Amino acid sequence: MTTTTSATVTTVTPGTPRLPLPATAGSDPAGVATHCAYCGLQCAMTLTGSSAADLAVAPRRFPTNRGGLCQKGWTSAELLRTPARLTTPLLRRDGELAPASWDEALDVVADAIVRTQAAYGRDAVAVFGGGGLTNEKAYQLGKFARVALRTSQVDYNGRWCMSSAAAAGIRCFGLDRGLPFPVTDIGSAHAVLLLGANPAETMPPFLTHLVRAADAGGLMVADPRLTPTAAKALDGGGLHLQLRPGTDAALALGMLHVAVTEGYADRRFIAERTTGFDDLWPVAAQWLPERVERVTGVAVTTLRTAVATLARARDTERGAYVLSARGSEQHASGTDTVTAFIALALALGLPGNSGTGFGTITGQGNGQGGREHGQKADQLPGYRRIDDPAARAHVAAVWGVDPADLPGPGRSAFELLDALGTESGPRVLLVHGSNPVVSAPDARRVSDRLAALDLLVVSDFVLSETAAVADVVLPVLQWAEEEGTMTNLEGRVLRRRRALAAPAGCRSELRIWNELASRLGCSTGFPTEPRLVFDELRRASAGGPADYSAVTWERLDAGESLHWPCSPQRPQGTPRLFLDRFATPDGRARFVPVDHVGPAEPDDTAYPLVATTGRVLQHYQSGAQTRLVEELSAAAGEMFVQVHPDTASAAGLDEGALADVVSRRGRTRATVRVDEDLRPDVVFLPFHWGDDGRANSLTHAALDPTSRMPEFKACAVRLEAAQ
């Protein structure tokens, strides 16, 4: 395939009629009650207006956002008005993308699938999904891959978001749910330790749940940068643990050492509700505070104060939480790092108790639900393992297929992309809800692999960087134009409601998969109505770790708040997990022996700095959507690199200068922003820009051996003045 990016794009026609909506308890007479299109907090909002042109957004009171919205939420309706909206399929003809009919586009895709699989086998066709898809689409995508395509090659971009935390949660607790308690529980905490989390920019309404901890001087943030969240902690008398990127596990083990040696460990909890402490302690015993300071840069006094603050809040107010996020997880040793912090929480007796706990802040809009129902290479619906014979039998019965016909585990996300176009790898790729040209590690390498495909098919709302190099582009619906469910960061199942009809020419992915399955001669049903898909999802998830079987649209529309597992045995759902027992065979949480190993790529004289990536307030993920909103784009400015003044001076750079950040894999061009609060050995780059500003041109794909998470948060670089 070619990589020409020229395309013809049809814009939205203003005045799109509004579809009549059912009168339900979940609908507001003054508008449509739904949830934000962006992060995993899934803030509640009300939409009013009769067309995309006049659609307006207002916050709605809900436990997660308490009536607030961030700048992205307030401007979310602008997405539906963007002139860049795709409303007709595009086919590449003579190197250019040009309009085509739906029948023509789907025929091209189906013919390529049949021809490719006949020549090279089932796994020559692959599917790449996204953590922003509704539960129904995530479920149907996994089913389509395994039943209609019968390929094992399916994974999704959530592998790059939550996989290390999920693997650690399963390893230690027997179950993965980002927050195993309602987010509102955090609001009563007097101490919260945030690990690589910056909710002041990534999900600002979350800050309302941190007010008590901040006011009590108990908000503590472990981050290489003085982020707005870390600054808030310091303003309230809390702590900023400014560690070197990639040293998070050393910090965790050092804090565990202090908890045990200075008398803060909950010995009764350890004895009664955990196993494995004696296996881990010999490792933690070696991490004396002074050693931790040398490795991480976090002062001994800060380390001790952080542990004492958690223990004091636990003892006096029963309000102490440890929360991890991408900063501590997106490493080649991310699973072990989160495991070490879980060990700290277990030693303090926080998980499985009311008022205390350990959790993970989910990033993507449906990051939790998206990884539960089968678009991940090793999973089936209900968070079942695809290599479990009982799980295969249950799901196959729901789908009406022979369990033996279901493929086994496939490649993880980066491994899948890296195999594209190779002799043994997929030759056709279908992408849904993802933009790997910008978001994948070692992005230039991934772009080369996409270019080696025989056919790249992208379903998207706008011409993202990945869609721009596709052979077929299929225009799909946007958040306010579809029905469905999402699952937020606390395992709460939510209703997404349609407020507008989609522009003529756009189709739901559910309909696309239905029509492709029909063209492929698949006799299994692929419903196009989200409600019917959800009912099937409920049956497929029944009895699994993520059991949705007692969740119904009627209950959600009646305003019930339902956290999974929600089954006939637990019809009211489970807001708080682990209060009686953990989800392990013996009911006990596990200490697992892990140690600090550091970044996979150390700095050296040629590349003396450590680059770490992250987000800014106005943008979301690869920026393909938010860069189209003028208010957000103007506020965020251009791609930048944050640099300590001494580091900038050593490279001959001043504030506002144009610099190249260079790694062993590529270079990224960015405007210098000097920040005296940054560590001198670190540079920071946001990952929301494309082209020459791709931060992920620098990052590399060293993979966590358990989760297969790439190491986004640490790579060796140097700074050069742009030529």
- Residues of the chain with pLDDT > 90, as a percent, come to 92
What is the pLDDT at residue 561? 87
What is the pLDDT at residue 5? 34
- Max distance between CA atoms of the chain, in angstroms, equals 72
Structure tokens at 547: 């059991």
Structure tokens at 148: 């209609």
Residue 607 has φ and ψ, to the nearest 5°, of -130, 80
Helix (H, G, I), strand (E, B) or coil at 268: helix
* pLDDT greater than 50 at residue 247: yes
Separation CA 348–CA 342 (nearest Å): 10
Whether residue 331 contacts residue 164, with contact meaning beta carbons closer than 8 Å, is answered with yes
- Domain annotation for the chain: domains and CATH numbers: 90-152+366-542 (3.40.50.740), 163-365 (3.40.228.10), 609-721 (2.40.40.20)
What is the pLDDT at residue 280? 98
Instruction: List pLDDT tens digits, range 509-532.
Output: 999 999 999 999 999 999 999 999
What is the pLDDT at residue 8? 28
Structure tokens at 48: 């009013």
Structure tokens at 334: 């991310």
* pLDDT greater than 70 at residue 702: yes
User: What is the rounded average pLDDT for all residues in the chain?
Assistant: 94
Instruction: List pLDDT tens digits, range 703-716.
Output: 999 999 999 999 99
What is the pLDDT at residue 318? 76
Whether residue 305 contacts residue 387, with contact meaning beta carbons closer than 8 Å, is answered with no
What is the pLDDT at residue 362? 86
State the residue for tokens 């996409």.
450
State the residue for tokens 């606390």.
490
Separation CA 669–CA 689 (nearest Å): 10
DSSP H helices in 602-660: 630-636, 645-650
Cα 351 from chain centre: 23
Instruction: List pLDDT tens digits, range 486-498.
Output: 999 999 999 999 9
Residue 47 has φ and ψ, to the nearest 5°, of -110, 130
Instruction: List pLDDT tens digits, range 132-149.
Output: 999 999 999 999 999 999
Mean pLDDT (whole number) for 65-69: 94
Helix (H) or strand (E) holding 398: helix 389-399
What is the pLDDT at residue 413? 97
What is the pLDDT at residue 27? 40
* pLDDT greater than 70 at residue 367: yes
Q: Which one, of 153, 179, 151, lies nearest residue 165 by Cα?
A: 179
* pLDDT greater than 90 at residue 379: yes
* pLDDT greater than 90 at residue 364: no
* pLDDT greater than 60 at residue 444: yes
Mean pLDDT (whole number) for 78-99: 96
Helix (H, G, I), strand (E, B) or coil at 32: strand
What is the pLDDT at residue 363? 80
Instruction: List pLDDT tens digits, range 186-237.
Output: 999 999 999 999 999 999 999 999 999 999 999 999 999 999 999 999 999 9
pLDDT bucket at 30, cuts 50 / 70 / 90: confident
Structure tokens at 389: 């014979």
What is the pLDDT at residue 378? 95
**Cβ-Cβ contacts under 8 Å for 688 (sequence gap 6 or more):** 438, 615, 616, 619, 620, 621, 622, 623, 626, 627, 636, 639
State the residue for tokens 């020229």.
6
Separation CA 605–CA 180 (nearest Å): 44
* pLDDT greater than 60 at residue 98: yes
Q: How many residues would you count in the chain?
A: 723
- Distances in Å between the Cα of 342 and the Cα atoms of 45, 128, 696 are 34, 31, 29
What is the pLDDT at residue 162? 87
Structure tokens at 109: 């895709």
Q: Which one, of 636, 635, 662, 637, lies nearest residue 651 by Cα?
A: 662
Whether residue 711 contacts residue 336, with contact meaning beta carbons closer than 8 Å, is answered with no
Count of CB atoms situated within 10 Å of the CB of 504: 11
- Across the beta sheet with 356-360, the strand order is 239-241, 219-222, 191-195, 320-324, 356-360
Q: Which one, of 701, 519, 660, lies nearest residue 106 by Cα?
A: 519
**Cβ-Cβ contacts under 8 Å for 489 (sequence gap 6 or more):** 40, 41, 42, 178, 179, 183, 360, 361, 362, 367, 368
What are the residues facing 223 on neighbouring strands?
A: none
Amino acid 71 reads: Q
* pLDDT greater than 60 at residue 9: no
* pLDDT greater than 60 at residue 397: yes
- Distances in Å between the Cα of 220 and the Cα atoms of 239, 291, 318, 515 are 5, 21, 17, 52
Regarding pTM above 0.85, the answer is yes
Mean pLDDT (whole number) for 581-606: 97
What is the pLDDT at residue 452? 98
Instruction: List pLDDT tens digits, range 533-575.
Output: 999 999 999 999 999 999 999 999 999 889 999 999 999 999 9
Mean pLDDT (whole number) for 34-38: 93
pLDDT bucket at 275, cuts 50 / 70 / 90: very high
Amino acid 387 reads: D
Structure tokens at 431: 């992408």
